[in-house]
Structure 1
Amino acid sequence: MTAPVLVFGYGNPSRGDDALGPEFVRRLELRCADAIACGALEVLTDFQLQVEHALDLRGREQVYFVDASAAADAPGHSVYPIEAAHDVAYTTHALSPAALLQTYGTVVGGPAPAAFVIAIRGEQFELGEAMSADAELRLAAALDDLVGRLRRRADRAPAPT
């Protein structure tokens, strides 16, 4: 059975605040272990989004892409919907979330699941750096935000018969 909600955190844990995506997922696993165990939620991490990840979107109702951003809005994170779109990138090794949705439509066919980006503001991305204290605080706020969204979603779900 495919969980209806996928949270995909990506980034490089060895590059300071770029670890925000994978660390977000690690902490979400701890906070939402019951939802993961009962199949309501699935989490994934990787260094970057790749074409193969389009297959991870199959059967989902919602997908959240979590990443560090040097341009995220105050209060330190933003959540916004995205739609499928072609990338104008020079490489095929990494995709934007919108390009991954476009790839899904091409490879799998049909509309992609509802998708959102959770962009958490990061400031230091040097190799070998630890995540900054400010990024830790922003991560906690973003995590609280998503957990609240997931709880509201669960409250709206029909009861099993």
Structure 2
Amino acid sequence: MQARGKRRLTRVIETVIAVSSDPASTPLPAVLILACGNPSRGDDALGPVLLDRLQVWLDDTGRAAGFELLVDFQLQIENALDVLGRHLVLFIDAGQDTPGPFVFRRAQAGAAASDLASYSTHALSPEAVLMVLPHVVHEAAPPAFVLCVRGERFELGEGLSAAASSHGERAFELLQALCGLAEVDAWMGQLT
């Protein structure tokens, strides 16, 4: 079963590569920003809320063409396809035990032994998504970063807590700076 799934994923990725390398196809935006979170679970909505605000800001400042913004409840192995062909990738999520207001760090494929196991479990890390590319398409993952914003409450049916809203404001300031200068060295200078 695993071999068949890997072959299917390989075929899908090969198709995406063929389409993206076609000169007639539309080029991908250089930067992918992928936010995870469930808007119905309190502070877990931080990622989607930040992404919505960022889209408005990018549109208003004329920067939107260089960015693709995606949102989902959680990372999936298929997100490796979204990462392919990018110059920079940013993963945004809320974290319960994250130091406030946020942590901004570099993500590297296979950075921890636990990442290897996580690509087949419910909770997939950004590192596990990045790890797929060299194994399936023999292509290195692009430089990637994680913005994890501290949340306090994650109960179903709750809205954003006051603390999470405050942390989100600080994180949005960082997002504006990152999108204002979308280069690896500039982002490295912002690590916390």
* TM-score of the superposed pair, with normalisation by structure 2: 0.74
Query: Structure 2 vs 1, CA of residues 35 and 10 (structure 1 numbering), >3 Å: closer, same or farther?
Result: same
Separation of aligned partners in 2, 1:54 and 1:90: 11
The CA deviation at 1:93 is 4.2
- d(CA) in 1 for partners of 2:50 and 2:154? 16
Work out whether 1:110 is the aligned partner of 2:135: no
Deviates more, 1:115-124 or 1:27-36: 27-36
Extract unaligned runs of 5+ from structure 1.
157-161
Does structure 2 retain, via aligned residues, the 8 Å contact 1:87–1:96? no
Kindly, what percent of the aligned residue pairs are identical? 41
Task: Tell me the residue number matched to 2:82.
Answer: 56
Query: How far 1:107 sits from its partner (Å)?
Result: 2.5
Please say if 1:148 is aligned against 2:177: yes
The unaligned stretches of length 5 or more in structure 2 are 1-26, 186-192
CA distance in 1, matches of 2:141, 2:37: 23
Counterpart position of 1:78: 103
CA distance in 2, matches of 1:67, 1:11: 6
User: Aligned partners of 2:66 and 2:75: how far apart in 1?
Assistant: 23
* Pick aligned residue for 2:160 from 131, 139, 149: 131
* CA positional deviation for 1:91: 4.5
Residue 72 of structure 1 contacts residue 78 of structure 1 at CA under 8 Å; is this kept in 2?
yes
Q: Distance in 1 between matches of 2:128 and 2:93?
A: 15
2:173 aligns to what SS in structure 1? helix
TM, length-normalised to structure 1: 0.87
Aligned Cα root-mean-square deviation (Å): 1.8
- Once the two structures are TM-superposed, the CA of residue 102 in structure 1 deviates from its matched residue by 0.4
Cα shift readout 1:55-100 (whole Å, capped 9, x = no counterpart) = 00111011110000012223x0110001001333394444110000
Number of matched pairs: 152
Rounded to whole Å, the distance in 1 between the matches of 2:166 and 2:53 is: 13
Moved over 4 A (4+): none
Letter in 1 for 2:109: A
**In structure 2, the residue corresponding to 1:71 is in which secondary structure?**
coil
Deviation at 1:131, TM superposition (A): 0.9
Deviations 1:81-127 (A, max 9, x none): 01001333394444110000001222332110101100000010000
1:95 maps to 124
Larger helix proportion of the pair: 2
- Which letter does structure 2 place at the counterpart of 1:152? L
